[in-house]
Amino acid sequence: MSSESELREVRAKKAETLKERGKQVFPNDFRVTDAIEASRRELLRIARDESELEKLTGEDGITEDSPRFNLYGRVMAKRGPFLVIRTPYGDAQALVRKELLDEDDAADFAILDLADHVCVEGPAIRTRTGALALRAERYRHLSKAMLPPPGKWHGLKDVEKRYRERYVDLFATPEVAEVFRARTTILKALRRFLDDRDFLEVETPLLHPVRGGATAKPFTTHHNALDLDLYLRIAPELYLKRLLVGGYDRVYEIGRAFRNEGISTRHNPEFTILEFYMAYVGYEELMDLGVGLFRETDRAFQKAHPTLVTERSFDLEATWARVTMVDSILDRMARDGFEPSAFDGLLDRETLDDDARLAAAFETALPRADKLTQKQMQGCRNFGERIFFLFELLVEPHLETLYRTEDGARSLPVFITQYPFEVSPLARRNDRDPRFTDRFELFIQGREVANAFSELNDPDDQAARFRDQLEKAEAGDEEAMDFDADYIRALSHGMPPAGGFGVGVDRLVMTLAGIDSIRDVLLFPLLRPEASAEIE
């Protein structure tokens, strides 16, 4: 196998040949007009339409009146006189015969390399195999590729290389490029849903003076001119709710957030989040709105990208499950077939409703648990943290199995509601049972994709929650929030009752497109630097 420098050297000689002939290696005189672009799209449409292909003739049927087309893009294969040219809208063939070109064009064609960008003009024909080809009457060199495409244009196989060289992955693997087109379709559908309901799209700061909006470890930076330490935003929440105070009843933002956490198939340190806030509704209305948001977005995705629609293990059109956190724990304990837990035989409704009994159950279960679980259990300081721990330990890994369609064939999206207030520092307490909040998280295919709640608008209650976060930080919790005095001042001016909804856009794309790793829906996921990234 030739080294990268050797491959570049071969192509550099061809580039020199172009220069010796007075040609630009990277010319900039080709201009795409609306008419030229429409011509290319029409050619590609004909290539995909069997009825249109049947109307085409072979080379011998070409006349002066035959319509001419433009085809331009990257050359991905060369088979005799046939080129396969890749465009953003699909591939098409060009039939390039030197004897049909003028001397200058023929000389350019003679030093063509795979991955070069070219333009050909001429009539469309049907080949002997029944495919479309554009028979070139003109040929133009548009840009030189100094490195060849991978694996004879069958795509990158090395996963790490795919992520690191996404620019190659995209043009070499059309299926990958289609995923990112689908991502844009999904983002447009999310915006359209909210815009149609009179939400105002806004932008809020990425640099925050205090940690807030979610419990997560932040990235830190420093502003030199102000000599000020800042945090990359964890979430836009607190700024968006300031806008509710300011009089905007419906606002949303789609943007990047940053969390200094581990990397996994579901986590990347920077990610895209949608958050919207709506005055004069509660979390029950947000569940209804969320069903509509996800269904409409999915329908737009399926219509625009049918090749990405896979057989799903979940059903978005069925009635979504709505289960309180405590009930989900009881559902799990009542079901057979799951691996044994240290809490088997210890949990019932009375225990999950009584702080002292629950603490005693933890004491009994502690010696039965493995070392890691023991450490996590010992970190639970109160009733709410114990309930949340049981959900994450016992229920979350089994949500796909616990809640299914009536025929059992597919899993249901499930809203887990009534989170303990101790793990929900920004959510409003439930009026009937203040130990819990009017909050839910949405799980699809067992994967958390959204978080929402009735917003806490009592400044005194919020200040107390912030103080509790400070205590956690002093105890070593790196994910605890700061005390945001300005936010308390904003609430003191009066925020209307409201509901807020957050969606992990990357996870939503993964869910709808049937993709298992978040890296496959991020154009440039975070990777360790290469040992050497120099190109000679």
Amino acid letter at 474? E
Beta strands in 21-64 (DSSP E): none
pLDDT digits (tens, 9 = 90+) for 346-377: 999 999 999 999 999 999 999 999 999 999 99
**Interatomic CA distance for residues 232 and 261, integer angstroms:** 13
CA-based radius of gyration for the chain: 29
Average pLDDT over residues 185-193: 98
Beta strands in 391-438 (DSSP E): 414-417
In the predicted structure, residue 186 carries a pLDDT above the cut 90: yes
The helix or strand, by DSSP H or E, that contains position 197, with its residue range, turns out to be: none
How big is the CA angle at 194 (ends 296 and 413), to the nearest 5 degrees? 40
The helix or strand, by DSSP H or E, that contains position 309, with its residue range, turns out to be: none
In the predicted structure, residue 251 carries a pLDDT above the cut 60: yes
525 and 268 in contact (C-beta within 8 Å)? yes
Give start and end residues of each alpha helix (H) in 196-222: none
How far apart are the two ends of the chain, measured CA to CA in Å? 17
In the predicted structure, residue 154 carries a pLDDT above the cut 60: no
Q: What is the mean pLDDT of the chain?
A: 94
Per-residue confidence (pLDDT) for residue 236, from 0 to 100: 97
pLDDT digits (tens, 9 = 90+) for 367-408: 999 999 999 999 999 999 999 999 999 999 999 999 999 999
Average pLDDT over residues 447-455: 96
State the pLDDT confidence band at 64, using cuts at 50, 70 and 90: very high
Domain ranges of the chain: 4-154, 165-313+496-525
Cβ–Cβ contacts within 10 Å for residue 198, how many? 9
Angstrom CA distances, 370 to 191, 342, 350, 375, 376, stand at 46, 9, 26, 9, 10
Per-residue confidence (pLDDT) for residue 122, from 0 to 100: 97
Per-residue confidence (pLDDT) for residue 533, from 0 to 100: 53
In the predicted structure, residue 266 carries a pLDDT above the cut 90: no
In the predicted structure, residue 129 carries a pLDDT above the cut 60: yes
pLDDT digits (tens, 9 = 90+) for 316-350: 999 999 999 999 999 999 998 888 899 999 999 99
State the pLDDT confidence band at 156, using cuts at 50, 70 and 90: low
Amino acid letter at 407? D
Share of the chain above pLDDT 70, in %: 97
In the predicted structure, residue 89 carries a pLDDT above the cut 60: yes
Per-residue confidence (pLDDT) for residue 263, from 0 to 100: 86
- Alpha carbon dihedral 257, 259, 263, 265, in 10-degree steps, equals -40
**Interatomic CA distance for residues 11 and 429, integer angstroms:** 67
Average pLDDT over residues 95-112: 94
Share of the chain above pLDDT 90, in %: 90
In the predicted structure, residue 265 carries a pLDDT above the cut 90: no
For residue 142, what are its two tokens?
């548009």
How big is the CA angle at 272 (ends 510 and 321), to the nearest 5 degrees? 50
Per-residue confidence (pLDDT) for residue 140, from 0 to 100: 96
For residue 278, what are its two tokens?
């709506």
State the pLDDT confidence band at 450, using cuts at 50, 70 and 90: very high
In the predicted structure, residue 282 carries a pLDDT above the cut 70: yes
Average pLDDT over residues 20-27: 94
Phi-psi region of 447 (alpha: psi -120 to 50; beta: other; left: phi over 0): beta
Per-residue confidence (pLDDT) for residue 439, from 0 to 100: 98
In the predicted structure, residue 456 carries a pLDDT above the cut 50: yes
Per-residue confidence (pLDDT) for residue 153, from 0 to 100: 43
State the pLDDT confidence band at 483, using cuts at 50, 70 and 90: very high
| Residues contacting residue 337 through CB under 8 Å, at least 6 positions apart | 401
For residue 74, the SS3 value is: strand
Domain 4-154: homologous superfamily in CATH: Nucleic acid-binding proteins (2.40.50.140)
**Interatomic CA distance for residues 418 and 421, integer angstroms:** 9
DSSP 8-state secondary structure symbol assigned to residue 219: P
Cβ–Cβ contacts within 10 Å for residue 530, how many? 9
For residue 60, what are its two tokens?
């011998």
Q: Tell me the β-bridge partners of 273.
A: 255, 504
Per-residue confidence (pLDDT) for residue 520, from 0 to 100: 96
165-313+496-525 maps to CATH 3.40.50.800: no
pLDDT digits (tens, 9 = 90+) for 398-446: 999 999 999 999 999 999 999 999 999 999 999 999 999 999 999 999 9
Nearest to 319 by CA among 410, 189, 391, 401: 410
pLDDT digits (tens, 9 = 90+) for 497-516: 999 999 999 999 999 999 99
For residue 436, the SS3 value is: strand
Largest CA distance in the chain: 92
Per-residue confidence (pLDDT) for residue 454, from 0 to 100: 97
**Interatomic CA distance for residues 26 and 142, integer angstroms:** 7
Q: Long-range pairs for 85-92 at CB < 8 Å and ≥24 separation?
A: 85/118, 85/120, 86/171, 86/174, 87/40, 87/44, 88/177, 89/40, 89/41, 89/44, 90/44, 90/47, 90/48, 90/174, 91/174, 92/43, 92/44, 92/47, 92/132, 92/133, 92/134
Amino acid letter at 424? S
Are 4-154 and 165-313+496-525 the same fold in CATH? no
Q: Which of 93-102, 202-211, 272-281, 335-344 has the lowest mean pLDDT?
A: 335-344
Looking up tokens 């069925």 gives 318
Question: What's the whole-model pTM score?
Answer: 0.92
**Interatomic CA distance for residues 43 and 124, integer angstroms:** 8
| Residues contacting residue 22 through CB under 8 Å, at least 6 positions apart | none
State the pLDDT confidence band at 200, using cuts at 50, 70 and 90: very high
How big is the CA angle at 80 (ends 82 and 87), to the nearest 5 degrees? 30
Average pLDDT over residues 292-310: 97
